[in-house]
Amino acid sequence: MKMEKNGTAEIRVDGKTLTYPVYEGTEGERAIDISKLRKETGLITYDSGFMNTGSCASDITFIDGEKGILRYRGYDVADLAEKCEFIEVAYLLVHGSLPTAVQKDRYSQLLNQHSMIHEDMKDFFSNYPEHSHPMAILSAMAVSLSSFYPELGQDVKEDLDMTVTRLISKLRTIAAFSYKKSIGEPTIYPRHDLKYCENFLNMMFSSPVRKEPINPVMADALNKLLIIHADHEQNCSTSVVRGVGSSGINLYASIAAGICALWGPRHGGANQHVIEMLEEIYREGGDVSKVIERAKNPRSPFRLMGFGHRVYKSYDPRAKIAKELCKKVIAATNTKDPLLDIAQELEERALNDSYFQERNLYPNVDFYTGLTYREMGIPTNMFTVMFAIGRLPGWIAQWLEMNNSETPIARPRQVYTGPNLRKVTPIAKRK
């Protein structure tokens, strides 16, 4: 869908008034098109961190950060999480519409057909040191897929469909294999008789000597967790996927770059850091005040993990879903996790503190997801991998949209602040 022209904006530069078109999206978001600004004035816009810059027009995901709304292809995320399986949402993001029952069955079969990875790729796992972070393995394996499955034609739809299916199916297998490697157990192959989430849980928790029954509450929780992570418009890793892809490189390489971007603690890596923060509070006696004070201290680089968001200035709708899921999974396991009590107290204290209120800092998606994964038996260093499996269909959909729309290569400008021209002093004379 194209943006509609709706008005103009005047910019006064050096005594001259220039007029630029204003475009409007389907939900009323308006943007000044300044693409001719530099040509006409010699000026560029300065927008560190792209806080006010729309890098593309997109049909995929809509967020209203003030109202706490998140929709994929027009469907509310809570509605999707309640009524759909993850592979339906993956289909929706990639193909633009929800599958019919027949399409879903066919898609499920296709994903199963492509769930194995080349046997030679398995050797890679044995050569990583024992404590390798699974995100490092995941990104390296994602780009390695381009060597093992190279028959990819970027302009041929059937080839691209095959690549997309392979990625969605195989990344889950790679994730489970990387976990097995980290605990020194043999890998468990995917099974054709299991659904996407059940298959993943089986590869994670069964072993050649022990068939672990799949708890339907866990499979349902995993489905929902993957759905709430499935896309989030132009976040850091998605912008990286689009940016890398705009150079003309293949989908596997672009996804590998996205995985690396997601790993950072200010992005998807925060889910791991939330648990580490809660564990630290627990070890030190359970008092949340110290952490709150540290997060508020302008001289400390520490941030309250799982709090704050570039777009949401209200409660992240995904955090609401994750919080309820977390309680459901804890109830199903019949356990009592002291970290949940600490998390809830931390949330309440922060939401009633003027520092967090004035800055509109609320729990984000990462605040309760880690706790839920932990209850499901997924180890802390796998949390960001779980985020990546969920985000994959979103990255793919965004990459395809970029690839179909002849996007120019991503190439921001800069304001240079380094030294002016100077002469090289011969090395013997340098002090």
Please give the Cα distance from 1 to 65 (Å, whole number): 22
Q: Catalytic site residue 114?
A: no
Is residue 104 part of the contact set for ligand SDX (CB under 6 A)?
no
Name which position in 232, 242, 320, 374 contacts ligand SDX (CB under 6 A).
Answer: 232
DSSP letters, 214-282, are: PPHHHHHHHHHHHHHHS--TT-HHHHHHHHHHTTT--HHHHHHHHHHHHTSTTTTTHHHHHHHHHHHHH
Strand order in 75-76's β-sheet? 61-64, 69-72, 75-76
| Sites for ligand SDX among residues 157-196 (CB under 6 A) | none
For ligand SDX, the binding residues in 13-72 under the rule CB under 6 A are 49
The nearest distance, CB 321 to ligand SDX, in angstroms, is 13
Identify which of residues 92 and 304 has a Cβ nearer to ligand SDX in the complex.
304
Judged by CB under 6 A, which of 366, 393, 397, 400 binds ligand SDX?
366
Q: Which of 114, 133, 273, 309 is catalytic?
A: 309
What is the footprint of ligand SDX within residues 370-389 (CB under 6 A)? none
Long-range contacts, 31-39 (Cβ 8 Å, 24+) = 31/3, 37/11, 38/413
Asked if residue 364 binds ligand SDX (CB under 6 A), the reply is yes
* 86-95 and 196-205 helices, crossing angle to 10°: 120
Helix (H) or strand (E) holding 162: helix 157-182
349 binds ligand SDX (CB under 6 A): no
211 is an interface residue for ligand SDX by CB under 6 A: no
Site for ligand SDX contains 304 (CB under 6 A): yes
**Site for ligand SDX contains 270 (CB under 6 A):** yes
The token pair at 252 is 């596997």
Among 77, 171, 365, 396, binds ligand SDX (CB under 6 A): 365
Say whether residue 303 binds ligand SDX (CB under 6 A). Answer: yes
Report if residue 295 touches ligand SDX, rule: CB under 6 A.
yes
Query: Which one, 149 or 383, has the nearer CB to ligand SDX?
Result: 383
**CA gap 33, 56 in Å, rounded:** 11
**Nearest partner of 161 among 263, 233, 91, judged by Cα:** 91
Residue of 309, 320, 323, 374 interacting with ligand SDX (CB under 6 A): 309
Is residue 235 a contact residue for ligand SDX (CB under 6 A)? yes
Among 305, 325, 342, 376, binds ligand SDX (CB under 6 A): 305
Judged by CB under 6 A, the stretch of 103-111, 180-188, 241-249, 301-309 that binds ligand SDX is: 301-309
Is residue 273 among the annotated active site residues?
A: no
The H helix count followed by the E strand count for the chain is 18, 6
- CA distance linking residue 90 with residue 97, whole number of Å: 10
CB closer to ligand SDX out of 194 and 292: 292
* 307 lines the binding site for ligand SDX (CB under 6 A): yes
Task: Quote the CA–CA distance of 196 and 31 in Å, as a whole number.
Answer: 40
Instruction: Report the residue from 36, 157, 266, 290 that binds ligand SDX according to the rule CB under 6 A.
Output: 266
Largest Cα separation within the chain, whole Å, is 79
Residue 62 forms beta bridges with which residues?
Answer: 71
Taking the C-alpha atoms of residue 279 and residue 273, their distance in angstroms, rounded to an integer, is 10
Binding site for ligand SDX (CB under 6 A): 49, 232, 235, 266-268, 270, 295, 303-311, 359, 361, 364-366
Catalytic residues: 309, 366
